[in-house]
Structure 1
Amino acid sequence: MQQIQNYVQGEWVSGQGEELIARDAIHGTEIGIVSSAGLDYEAILDYGRKVGGPALRKMTFQERGRMLKALALHLVKIKDQFYETSFKTGATKIDSWVDIEGGFGNLFANASLRRQFPDLPYYVDGSHAPLSKNGTFIGHHIMVPKRGVAIHINAFNFPVWGMLEKIAVNLMAGVPAVVKPSEYTSFLTEHVVREIIASKILPEGALQLLTGLGRGILDHVTTGDTVTFTGSAATGKKLQALPHIIDRSVTFNLEADSLNASVLGPDVEPGMPEFDIFVKEVQREITTKAGQKCTAVRRIIVPEDKIDAVQEALISRLQKTSIGDPRMEGVRMGSLASSIQVERLAENIARLKNSQEVVYGDLRDFEVMGAQRDKGAFVSPTLFRNDNPFSNTDVHEVECFGPVSTLIPYKGLAEAAEIANMGKGSLVSSIITADDKLGREYVVEAAHMHGRIMVLNAKSAKESTGHGSPMPLLTHGGPGRAGGGEEMGGKRGVLHYLQRTAIQGHPDTITEITQVYQPGASRPEAEKHLFRQHFEELKVGETVYTHRHTVTDADIASFAQVSGDNFYAHVDATSLEGTIFEGKVAHGYYVLSKAAGMFVDPRKGPVLLNYGIDECRFTKPVYPGMTIGVKFTVKEKIDQEKRSKDDIAKGIVKFNVDVYDEEGETVALATILTMVKKMDQSV
């Protein structure tokens, strides 16, 4: 029989014996033997730390981002081959699209984050902190990649997305990963990892895979390692409490299944677009992935006078949900991932039946298209109704990980939030309302117990990603029962794998460490104007000291006429009583515009364009008769890749513009962003 192999220490290897037989969730046929028994887990983690870690840490954020982009492009080109494998997990084409291409999208999204990071292997966090009277001693923060390995223990429901959404973040941070997917669906993860390894886009050691049970992998984690766990809260908490994880301060991120809730706003009536949107959204959440999502709607909270209408509409939609082989035309819901999941689901449905009524669905009586019900892991959607959620509380305790949800009535929006919060913490809640004030009221009341809240109405429904879809640039996690962890989150997710360290020293020292000009650091005068230098030639701290200009009444009047800015402080000296101004004052934008005229070298050269201003401040009034000059300094350099063979090789340069008066005091500060050509156009 085929072996579902592990990729460790640079090789594809089989585990010893048989830990599990992976089976097709639709037909029950054998796929292969799964095992990671006998592998040297200590050596595997050490390999990641000693081989993958150094290779990734040598790369800058820009290089890591381009690496992720290249990997995403490669996988997209060969995506079709993954769908056939995904069908064997019980997923429909749409389910597989979310898992496969959603995972690739996560790579793209994290690759784009490179624009928010420096062209360095480490991150410069925030701005400097003055620590001395004369400015010769300052503080700052940098964040460097942790020198450990990320161990990702993933659930069975998203074999591709679950892996890629996690490794995209740690790879961007410069940290290697060992991925342990669920053994039940690891055959799909293995398929994707084989293509990743074969592409040679990632440096060796950056990614390793354990397809079996992986028992013992956490015995060898140590300081600097990061463990992420997705699955049941009970299992996650046991792992999180392991003594050596606590003793060695191993970072542990728990993302647990939760009893998510969707609320129909009290303003929504049958016949309104929002009513139909709500019913459609809930039905989709029940049946997508056959309900095997940590974000699925488990509690449907509706106004008590609308519950019958919602029940009728929802049952009508569920009755049209065809179940069967996802390869067949017309099938809208596949199977659970394994027969084990069917058994667990049936047990929990039986528990809920003790305290609430089934209004739709029967696990023993439903039709299956293109397959035999007893061979595959098929179940029927099940809809409960609980008219007494404050006394019949099993619905807030028992999660059926499948196409199961419960209708619950509420009397007022405050009560709806109270019911939603009885789940003791969830990954996501949603409210569908046409009234934004009601949306605000619910969000403020419920946010402390939910990691994400979606407010949906007719204006956003068409482009909405849905209740159950966490997005790469937003945090995914939740408090309480949901585990208290965070995943993804854009830049926040990357920072999770970096160690923040405070640094102190002279501004020259901190400038050298951060490669960003710090206030008070030396400004050596440039031998050649900065606009005459190519990207490679420019040095952080190098400065142009401009000629000076004495501001006149005529300057201010001319700028007012040209700009149309006739604010009284600039044009009417008789209106200044009771203000902070001593007389007519120059426009701040005049000062900045005049500064540009002073620091710009007008001749054609390496500077291609100026495309923005950051952190602009006007710090002191400029009156007629005052003389201003500019210190124009290279603040930071960021490399930029060529978008095509014919693109110009270039980089981004940030310049510090310090406009000062005759007393040497700063009157205006700004950072301008420029695009500067490189010397070597073949780069």
Structure 2
Amino acid sequence: MNMRNVESFAAGQWVSPGAGARNIASAITGDVIAQAGNDGLDVQAMLGYAHDVGGPALRKMTFHDRARMLKAVALYLREQRQTLYDLSYDTGATLSDHKIDVDGGIGTMLVFASKGRREMPDAQVYLDGPPEQLGREGQFWGRHVCTPLQGVAVHINAFNFPVWGMLEKLAPTLLAGVPAIVKPATATCYVTEACVRMMLASGLLPEGALQLVSGGLGDMLDHLDCQDAVAFTGSAQTALKLRTNPVLMERSVRFASEQDSLNASVLGPDAVPGTPEFDLFVKEVQREMTAKAGQKCTAIRRIMVHEAQIDAVISALSEHLAKTAIGDPRLETTRMGALVSAGQKRDVLEKAALIGAEAERVFGDPDNFEVVGADKEKGAFVPPMLFHCAAPDEAERVHDTEAFGPVSTIMPYRDLNNAIDLLNKGKGSLVASVITNDGDVAREMVLGAAAFHGRLYFNNRTSMAEATGHGSPLPHMVHGGPGRAGGGEELGGIRGVMHYMQRTAVQGSPDILTAIGKQWVPGATEITDRAHPFTRTFNDLDLGETFYSGSRVVTLDDIETFAHFTGDTFYAHMDDAAAKANPFFPGRVAHGYLLLSFAAGLFVQPDPGPVLANTGLDNLRFMAPVEAGDSIKVRLSVKHKTPRNEEYGEVRWHVTLTNQNDEAVAEYELLTMNAY
């Protein structure tokens, strides 16, 4: 086998391994297949390249530009993924494991691309919440805005997911407009390097947006400042060493950590043998113990079962584990491959021995198991190992020792409070799952345990067909956890993007805030000397273009006709005495939806034109009642514009209805799709 030289990409150049390079062995055969590392990397040049080249290029782009870029990169990788699959076998992973890693990473990029287009503006400033009126007359406002950090994000990733681990951090970072330096774990960095080469070869990323360190970071962290960020995934011990770096602390460099944790799964007291939940629980635990050979940060390490069901679960789970074919991951019959390295194998066996001091091993003998298609002595193979801790309340090691492999401990609980106490003895985890069909059980679990866990995953007969699994972090939801899990967060949709942006409170006049956020603020300059805005294309409309309608009198006949036509004969519209008895109404009043209908009649331009469709309204408020004999009129202003595709964009209109006394009676935001 040819030795693979795993290179770094630094300051625009590929750099071969040099002094300090480490050998990388195949998890299957133990043979050295690659080398990586170079102590001579110019880390200051890398940081300068990101700061001076990558950052400005990304910040010139809008959020939508970056979202389109992410989508294009993800689709490009999808076409190349077989190469990544083929490389990944030597990490010990099976094809199904590769799909979790490679396809999962690509899918995460696509989700962030979609969210960037749908939930962020086609602009360079993100508006965090609505504006706040700070002055009595409406001429002094404030709002929170988010802008990209003007530094670099250093991503330090774990060995278990060389593609997903990179892409799940990279997607929100690039969407925020921040360049990244990726440092994968050396044991599997050859897969990450191949993925980085693909992304750079695509030509879709701006120069300086992405760099790669294959090997050690050297003293890079010592040169970071307040505009930089570090995101780490790995062991608690390494995280502690990194987060206490004096430079990071002194300069308030952002540091997010996702660490190993003792994730757990609870079988609800209602889930007895014969129920769908019991069978589901056994399958979920078996899958989480053996996927990636248990080398997942979300894998189930502790299994909590009501004491009455302990024997049944041990029996059923052992039966499922016995069907797990272990061997060369390239074989179609293999269901679990090897650990990533011989060193990892030694660590898992050592940790399993510590757990064994408090628990009895009831399945899996590391000295006696079968491996198909490979030499189990040369490869990093271990069997699934299930332990039973009969007295978990007094135990310590089962709650603080993680064997990062296919090792888990089953333990009994007496009642729900005891189950919650056992869950929380892990002192913080990325995820805990509860298999139950009882909503009260779920609620008690949230109240008692949510504070200790980054994610609570509930599954039962209703959700099982669609549920993605205990161990599947989704880009839509937060990934991270308190305490031992690191206290950090990743993913979570647009929340993940915010980790690489600065939230700033800006204050000023309505015109100033409109200019900053590219969103019209009430009180800002109105443009009223143009043709009806519904006759003007998306591109021709400017923020603040405003239409004032004529007025219309609301009659008692209007109210009654609307009531009988729609069937809405609520007493406030039909019974004067009953309406007067209501503290909100002076007597019979017009329907709110009648007012909206009349408003549309007052501002709509009826002829065919650029307005293609009304797609809804947001933030509707009825502010004062309208009686028969009152009149209403409408002010319609262009608040915000968002391109949607090549044919049309979304216009958000600020709509205010006022009465004959110029008092606001209703307010909302109208959404239309307008042709360019």
TM-score, scaled relative to structure 2: 0.98
Contact 1:124–1:141, Cα closer than 8 Å, also in 2: yes
Counterparts of 1:502 and 1:203, CA distance in 2: 30
Counterparts of 2:216 and 2:250, CA distance in 1: 24
Q: Which of 112, 130, 133 in structure 2 is aligned with 1:130? A: 133
Other structure's SS at 1:671 match: strand
Aligned residue number for residue 666 of structure 1 = 664
Q: Deviations over 1:459-515 (max 9, x none)?
A: 111211111111101000011000100000101111111111111111111111111
The gaps in structure 1 that reach 5 residues or longer are 643-648, 679-683
Aligned residue number for residue 394 of structure 2 = 391
Aligned residue number for residue 616 of structure 2 = 612
1:153 maps to 2:168 = no
Counterparts of 2:226 and 2:512, CA distance in 1: 29
Alignment of 1:393-408 (within 5 A): 393-408=396-411
Q: Which of 75, 82, 86 in structure 1 is aligned with 2:77? A: 75
Alignment of 1:206-217 (within 5 A): 206-217=209-220
**1:609 Cα offset (Å):** 0.8
Q: Deviations over 1:18-46 (max 9, x none)?
A: 42112221122222210132001111112
**1:153 Cα offset (Å):** 0.3
**1:627 Cα offset (Å):** 1.6
Q: Which of 481, 485, 489 in structure 1 is aligned with 2:488? A: 485
Contact 2:66–2:174, Cα closer than 8 Å, also in 1: yes
Aligned residue number for residue 110 of structure 2 = 108
Q: Which of 238, 243, 264 in structure 1 is aligned with 2:241? A: 238
Counterparts of 2:635 and 2:332, CA distance in 1: 69
Aligned residue number for residue 597 of structure 1 = 601
Alignment of 1:169-248 (within 5 A): 169-248=172-251
Letter in 1 for 2:622: F
Counterparts of 1:468 and 1:633, CA distance in 2: 48
Alignment of 1:329-344 (within 5 A): 329-344=332-347
Other structure's SS at 1:388 match: coil
Aligned residue number for residue 675 of structure 2 = 677
Aligned residue number for residue 47 of structure 2 = 45
Alignment of 1:621-636 (within 5 A): 621-636=625-640
Q: Which of 453, 465, 470 in structure 2 is aligned with 1:467? A: 470
Counterparts of 1:466 and 1:630, CA distance in 2: 51
**1:583 Cα offset (Å):** 2.1
**1:127 Cα offset (Å):** 1.1
Counterparts of 1:665 and 1:521, CA distance in 2: 19
Counterparts of 1:64 and 1:36, CA distance in 2: 32
Identical counterparts, % of pairs: 50
1:301 maps to 2:304 = yes
Q: Deviations over 1:275-307 (max 9, x none)?
A: 111111101111000000111100111011110
Moved more, 399-408 or 134-143: 134-143
Contact 1:19–1:213, Cα closer than 8 Å, also in 2: no
Other structure's SS at 1:455 match: strand
Alignment of 1:376-455 (within 5 A): 376-455=379-458
**1:522 Cα offset (Å):** 2.1
1:500 maps to 2:503 = yes
Counterparts of 1:72 and 1:641, CA distance in 2: 19
Counterparts of 1:371 and 1:641, CA distance in 2: 53
Counterparts of 2:314 and 2:113, CA distance in 1: 44
Aligned residue number for residue 681 of structure 1 = none
Counterparts of 2:45 and 2:645, CA distance in 1: 37
Q: Which of 81, 87, 106 in structure 2 is aligned with 1:85? A: 87
Counterparts of 1:140 and 1:282, CA distance in 2: 47
Q: Deviations over 1:401-431 (max 9, x none)?
A: 0000001011001101101110111111011
**1:193 Cα offset (Å):** 0.8
Counterparts of 1:526 and 1:141, CA distance in 2: 32
Alignment of 1:221-300 (within 5 A): 221-300=224-303
Q: Which of 584, 590, 601 in structure 1 is aligned with 2:588? A: 584
Contact 2:559–2:590, Cα closer than 8 Å, also in 1: yes
Aligned residue number for residue 558 of structure 1 = 561
Counterparts of 1:526 and 1:269, CA distance in 2: 73
Other structure's SS at 1:471 match: coil
Contact 1:36–1:214, Cα closer than 8 Å, also in 2: no
Counterparts of 2:673 and 2:529, CA distance in 1: 19
Counterparts of 1:306 and 1:464, CA distance in 2: 24
Aligned residue number for residue 58 of structure 2 = 56
Contact 2:125–2:516, Cα closer than 8 Å, also in 1: no
Counterparts of 1:131 and 1:443, CA distance in 2: 38
Contact 2:43–2:218, Cα closer than 8 Å, also in 1: no
Letter in 1 for 2:13: E
1:164 maps to 2:161 = no
Letter in 2 for 1:88: D
Letter in 2 for 1:335: A
Contact 1:267–1:433, Cα closer than 8 Å, also in 2: yes
The gaps in structure 2 that reach 5 residues or longer are none
Contact 1:257–1:482, Cα closer than 8 Å, also in 2: yes
**1:526 Cα offset (Å):** 4.1
Other structure's SS at 1:306 match: helix
Contact 1:22–1:187, Cα closer than 8 Å, also in 2: no
Counterparts of 1:662 and 1:394, CA distance in 2: 75
Q: Deviations over 1:96-143 (max 9, x none)?
A: 100000000000110111211111112011111111121111111111
**1:576 Cα offset (Å):** 2.2
Letter in 2 for 1:619: M
Other structure's SS at 1:420 match: helix
Letter in 2 for 1:97: K
Letter in 2 for 1:126: G
Counterparts of 1:254 and 1:167, CA distance in 2: 15
Contact 2:580–2:588, Cα closer than 8 Å, also in 1: no
Aligned residue number for residue 646 of structure 1 = none
Other structure's SS at 1:628 match: strand
Counterparts of 1:640 and 1:216, CA distance in 2: 45
Other structure's SS at 2:353 match: helix
Counterparts of 1:496 and 1:641, CA distance in 2: 28
Other structure's SS at 1:366 match: coil
Aligned residue number for residue 652 of structure 2 = 654
Q: Deviations over 1:189-229 (max 9, x none)?
A: 01111110000111111111111122322121111111011
**1:574 Cα offset (Å):** 2.9
**1:671 Cα offset (Å):** 0.5
Counterparts of 1:53 and 1:284, CA distance in 2: 42
Contact 1:90–1:337, Cα closer than 8 Å, also in 2: yes
Contact 1:263–1:432, Cα closer than 8 Å, also in 2: yes
**1:392 Cα offset (Å):** 2.3
**1:62 Cα offset (Å):** 1.1
Letter in 1 for 2:656: D
Contact 1:15–1:39, Cα closer than 8 Å, also in 2: no
Counterparts of 1:463 and 1:595, CA distance in 2: 43
Contact 1:526–1:544, Cα closer than 8 Å, also in 2: no
TM-score, scaled relative to structure 1: 0.97
